[in-house]
Structure 1
Amino acid sequence: MSLQERYPAYGGRGPADLRLGLGLGAVATIFMILRIYVRLRVNKFGTTALIWALVAWLLTTITQCFGVISILHGLGNRIAIVEEVGQLHNYLLFTWITVFFFNMAIPTGKVAVAAFLIEMNGQGNPKIRRSLIAVGAANIILSIPQILLAWFQCSPPNALWDPLRQDQCNHVTSVRYSYFIGAVAALSDFYLAIIPVTMLVPLRMDRKLKWGLSFLMGLGVFAGAAAIVRTWAAKFILSDDPSYGVGILFRWGEVEEWIVLISMSIPPVWPLFRPITKRFIKSAGYSRSPKNYMAYDKYASRGGSRHSWPDSRGHHHHFCFFCQGCIWYN
Structure 2
Amino acid sequence: MAYVSLAENPRGVTILATLWPLITFASTFLALRLYCKVTRRRQLWWDDHFIIAAWILLLVSCAATTANVRLGFGLHFDQVPLENLITFGIQSNISGFTSVISVACSKTSFAITLLRLTDGWMKWFIWGLLVLLNVTQYLSGLFFWVSCNPPAKTWNFMLPGECWPVTFTINFSMFVGACSAFCDFALALLPWRLLLRYNMYNREKIGAAVAMSMGILAGAMCIVKMTTIPLLEKGDFSCEKPASAPLSLPRPRPTPTRPYD
What TM-score does the superposition give when structure 2 sets the normalisation length?
0.88
Q: Is the 8 A contact 2:54 2:102 kept in 1?
A: yes
2:59 aligns with 61
Q: How does 1:219-238 map to 2 (within 5 A)?
A: 219-238=214-233
1:19 aligns with 17
Pairwise CA distance, 1:112: 0.8
The question of 1:162 aligning with 2:159 is answered no
Question: Cα deviation per residue 1:105-160 (whole Å; 9 max; x = unaligned)?
Answer: 111111111012223x1xx4322222222212221122332222222222222122
- Name the larger-Rg structure: 1
Pairwise CA distance, 1:202: 3.8
SS state at 1:75 partner: coil
Q: Is the 8 A contact 2:174 2:226 kept in 1?
A: yes
Q: How does 1:65-214 map to 2 (within 5 A)?
A: 65-83=63-81, 86-119=83-116, 121=117, 124-165=118-159, 168-170=162-164, 171-214=166-209
Aligned pairs, how many?
Answer: 258
2:45 aligns with 47
SS state at 1:201 partner: helix
Identity of aligned pairs, percent? Answer: 20
1:33 aligns with 31
Return the alpha-carbon distance in structure 2 between the equivalents of residues 203 and 29 of structure 1.
Answer: 30
Pairwise CA distance, 1:29: 1.4
Pairwise CA distance, 1:60: 1.6
Say which is worse superposed, 157-166 or 238-247, in terms of deviation: 157-166
Return the alpha-carbon distance in structure 1 between the equivalents of residues 62 and 50 of structure 2.
Answer: 18
Question: Cα deviation per residue 1:43-89 (whole Å; 9 max; x = unaligned)?
Answer: 52662211111111112221111121122222222223214x75333
Greater RCO structure (CA 8 Å; 6+ sep): 2
What TM-score does the superposition give when structure 1 sets the normalisation length?
0.71
**Unaligned residue ranges in structure 2 (runs of 5+):** none
Return the alpha-carbon distance in structure 2 between the equivalents of residues 221 and 60 of structure 1.
Answer: 19
Return the alpha-carbon distance in structure 2 between the equivalents of residues 7 and 201 of structure 1.
Answer: 55
Say which is worse superposed, 216-225 or 134-143, in terms of deviation: 134-143
Q: Is the 8 A contact 2:177 2:226 kept in 1?
A: yes
Pairwise CA distance, 1:26: 1.3
Return the alpha-carbon distance in structure 1 between the equivalents of residues 10 and 149 of structure 2.
Answer: 31
The root-mean-square deviation of aligned C-alpha atoms, in Å, is 2.4
Question: Cα deviation per residue 1:1-36 (whole Å; 9 max; x = unaligned)?
Answer: xxxx95347623221221221111112112222222
Return the alpha-carbon distance in structure 2 between the equivalents of residues 191 and 11 of structure 1.
Answer: 39
**Unaligned residue ranges in structure 1 (runs of 5+):** 269-306, 308-318, 322-330
Higher percent of residues as helix:
2
Decide whether aligned partners of structure 1 residues 197 and 94 sit closer, same or farther in structure 2, where only a CA change above 3 A counts. Answer: same
Q: Is the 8 A contact 2:72 2:80 kept in 1?
A: yes
Return the alpha-carbon distance in structure 1 between the equivalents of residues 25 and 70 of structure 2.
Answer: 22
Return the alpha-carbon distance in structure 1 between the equivalents of residues 148 and 248 of structure 2.
Answer: 23
